[in-house]
Amino acid sequence: MTRHTGSDDGDETSGTDESHGIDGTSDDEPRGRTDDEPRGSADGDRCGCGSADGTPQPNVPEIGRDERPAIFVPDEESEERGGPADAPRTATDGGVESATGGSDSTELDPDAYDPIDVFPEGDLDLRDGADSCYKCTSCDTSCPVAEVDDEFPGPKFQGPEQWRLKRKDDHDIDESITSCSNCMRCDDACPSSVPLSQMHNEARGQFVEEQMEKLSLEYVRNRILANYRTSARLASVVPRLSSFAMNFGPARWAMDKVLGIPKEREFPEFATTTFREWWRDRGGAQVENPDKRVAYFHGCYSNYNTPEVGKAMVRVYEHFGYEVLVPPQKCSGTPMFANGMLKDARRHAETNVENLIEAIGDGADVIASCTSCSMSLRQEYPELFDIHGIEDVSNHTFEALEYLRIHEDLDGALAESDGPGDEQSFAYHAPCHARNQGLARQAVETFRDVDGVEMEDVGDSCSGISGTYGWKSEKYEKSMQIGEEMFDHMEEAEGKVGMTECPTCAMQMEHGTGYEIEHPLQLLEETVVA
């Protein structure tokens, strides 16, 4: 068989161990091309990204991280993010050296001349993203916030347009960036592969870093929300008391008034035994298998709030003969990105990358049960941070059900099973972050032919909570407006149990309908393992 992929070692996960892009050392052959004709060599040093051999990869869609280096370098403080300190920042217009050095035209070599090279680009330049935007407004049309919020100018403004505006030093980031919920639907909508969420993250990080009053209650509130892990870790010391205290009426009233955390929402309960405690108590992995190893990234929520999801993951994977590793880990960073707390996110990322890369070295792939965790590790990490090994982590990370669908005969196992104990109907909502990973339909497809299971997709709308967005008093109403479509469809659906992969979507689903919400892994455990 002739392989026409980036690597040719015949392994079906081949190519995943290559570093794509960030350091420009990708040595991919152009895909699907066996001849050796040179193509577009003039593009070789364009923006210092893409492949180093200068071969454009026409068939590789321009996923943000393949094209651009990471944008967030924490220790530069307010120094230019735009490149090495000694490289003067290039203005968008004016002051730019001519590509040809302004020499007279007789010296022009038409073959070497390429208009793309006119503007030399700094290391951290998102110009490609801004230039790729042809203003079709697909992002705006897909934005759930713009649909309900008169004050929000939409992703096209927050991304490419704002990027252009702030090329000039005297422009602040517009504070409307804090109304972006980081659902990332715009990424999926853009037909031109503009790295919208990356641009939003950059702008939001800059806004919080440089313009937001660090003593303001909003900052404090956002910092608390973004660092959910910290609160959850403390709360889990005395879980019952925490669950009570956090939902204690007068306390909630005060939180609403002082911090802006909506009193309408119920705080999730803290588990009396965290996932990691359970894991320790059971003596860790029950299956050893050097050939089939996965490292479980449980994230904060499965650990502190819904350990049953983590347990289901372990039991299902052990059922399929996998050795499960549970490396030390911190927050994936998702709530921090959404609140512009990039320094916090980076600190956590360093721990995560260090431990996950070690597991990968032991032959494991990284498995997340939360689609926002997997999204963060896969996309935001390499887009935002330049940490050794971060590309490997990205390329080895999968969502739990996704991985089994790729590597195991899940349909076969489900067909052989007797189904769950009794008939069950679910109203399934695909989280926005699952959608961007191509996972929006996997739960429905996996379970819809299983005897005794009804699985209904409640549509492609956003649940409206988007992590911490719906946890802010000033956004609560809008969050519920966005969610209305999903609530309606859930009510219409046959099933009276909700299902989703995302913990905060689950909160919103429960909040809007009163349904109990399950994770697909729990159903998988019930059907395949039981």
Partner 1 sequence: MAIDSEVLVVGGGMAGITAAIAAAREGADTRLVSHKASTLRQASGLIDALGYLPATEPAKPLREGPPTAGRNLDPDEWPDPEGPLTDPFEAIDRLPEDHPYRLVGADALREGLELFDDLVGDAYLGGHTDRNALVPTFGGSVKPTARYPASAAAGLASDDRPTLIVGFRSLTEYDARAFADRLAAADVPFDVAGAEVEFAEAFRADAKITRLAKALDRDEPIDGTPAREALAKAVGPHLHDVVDEEGGVDRVERVGFPAFLGDDHPAEVRADLGDRLGADVFEIPMGPPSLPGLRLEDLLYDALDDAGVRFETGTPAVGYAVTDAGDRIDHLVMDRKGSEVPYGAEAVVLATGGLVGKGLDSDRDGVREPVLDLHVPQPADRYEWFVDDAFGEQPYARFGVRPDERLRPLDETGEVAYGNIRVAGAVVGGADVAREKSASGVSLATGLVAGREAAREVQQ
Comparing CB distances to partner 1, the nearer of 1 and 237 is 1
Q: In the beta sheet, which residues pair with residue 323? A: 293
Asked if residues 442 and 478 have their Cβ atoms less than 8 Å apart, the reply is no
Q: State which of residues 167, 263, 319, 407 lies at the interface with partner 1 (CB under 8 A).
A: 407
Considering the complex, state which of residue 261 and residue 486 has its C-beta at the smaller distance from partner 1: 486
CB of 402 to partner 1, least distance (A): 7
- Residue 25 CA to residue 251 CA, distance in Å, equals 54
Tell me the H-state helices in 193-238: 196-206, 217-226, 228-235
Q: Which is nearer to partner 1, 436 or 508 (CB)?
A: 436
Least CB distance from residue 437 to partner 1, whole Å? 6
Burial category of 45 from C-beta neighbours within 10 Å (exposed 0-12, middle 13-18, buried 19 and up):
middle
Looking at residues 145 to 174 of the shown chain, list those that interact with partner 1 (rule: CB under 8 A).
146-151, 153-154
188 binds partner 1 (CB under 8 A): yes
- The residue among 140 and 323 lying less far from partner 1, judged by its C-beta, is 140
Chosen residue from 128, 386, 391, 518 binding partner 1 by CB under 8 A = 391
CA separation for the pair 403, 101 (Å, rounded): 52
CB of 460 to partner 1, least distance (A): 8
Q: How far is the CB of 41 from partner 1 (least distance, A)?
A: 9
* H-state helical runs in 287-431: 299-304, 307-319, 334-338, 342-361, 371-375, 381-384, 390-395, 400-407, 410-416
Give the whole-angstrom CA distance, residue 408 versus residue 396: 17
For partner 1, which stretch binds (CB under 8 A), given 238-246, 259-267, 343-351, 396-404? Answer: 396-404
Main-chain phi, psi angles of 426, to 5 degrees: -125, 145
Using CB under 8 A, which of 127, 204, 346, 378 touches partner 1? 378
List the interface residues with partner 1, window 12-51 (CB under 8 A).
12-16, 20, 31-33, 39-40, 43
Q: Supply the minimum distance, in Å, between the C-beta of residue 374 and partner 1.
A: 8
Count, residues near partner 1 per rule CB under 8 A: 74
Under the binding rule (CB under 8 A), the answer on residue 67 touching partner 1 is no
The verdict on 63 binding partner 1 (CB under 8 A) reads: yes
Residue 17 or 308 having the CB closest to partner 1: 17
Q: Is the dihedral of CA 211, 213, 216, 221 positive or negative?
A: positive
Nearest to 467 by CA among 322, 370, 347: 370
What SS3 string covers 403-425? HHHHHCCHHHHHHHCCCCCCCEE
Separation CA 126–CA 75 (nearest Å): 20
| Residue where the block lists tokens 């729990």 | 522
| 8 A C-beta contact, residue 127 and residue 161 | no
Q: Is the CB of residue 75 less than 8 Å from the CB of residue 114?
A: no
Decide if residue 250 touches partner 1 (CB under 8 A).
no
Judged by CB under 8 A, which of 26, 51, 55, 142 binds partner 1? 142
User: Restricting to residues 110-129, which ones interact with partner 1 according to CB under 8 A?
Assistant: 114
d(CA 47, CA 205): 23
Rank residues 71 and 367 by Cβ distance to partner 1 and give the closer one: 367
Beta carbon of residue 467, minimum distance to partner 1 (angstroms, whole number)? 19
CB closer to partner 1, 2 vs 103:
2
Q: Tokens in use for 93?
A: 């217009």
How far out from the chain centre does Cα 497 lie?
26
Of 228 and 398, the one with the shorter C-beta distance to partner 1 is 398
Tell me the window of 256-264, 266-274, 401-409, 420-428 that interacts with partner 1 (CB under 8 A).
401-409
The span of 8-16, 124-132, 167-175, 329-337 binding partner 1 (CB under 8 A) equals 8-16
DSSP string of 262-301? -TTSPPPPPPSS-HHHHHHHTTS-S---TTSEEEEE-HHH
Structure tokens at 274: 């965290």
Residue (392 or 525) nearer to partner 1, CB: 392
Q: Does residue 138 belong to the site contacting partner 1 (CB under 8 A)? A: yes
Q: Rank residues 6 and 503 by Cβ distance to partner 1 and give the closer one.
A: 6
**Distance in Å, CB of 517 to partner 1, minimum:** 22
Looking only at residues 281 through 320 of this chain, which bind partner 1 when binding is defined by CB under 8 A? Answer: none
Near partner 1 in 445-504, by CB under 8 A: 445, 457, 460, 485
Burial grade of 183 (CB within 10 A; 0-12, 13-18, 19 or more): buried
- In this complex, which beta carbon is closest to partner 1, that of residue 29 or of residue 209? 29
Residue span binding partner 1 (CB under 8 A) among the ranges 52-60, 313-321, 419-427, 508-516:
52-60
Residue 66 vs 209, nearer CB to partner 1: 66
Q: Which stretch binds partner 1 (CB under 8 A): 5-13, 219-227, 418-426, 470-478?
A: 5-13
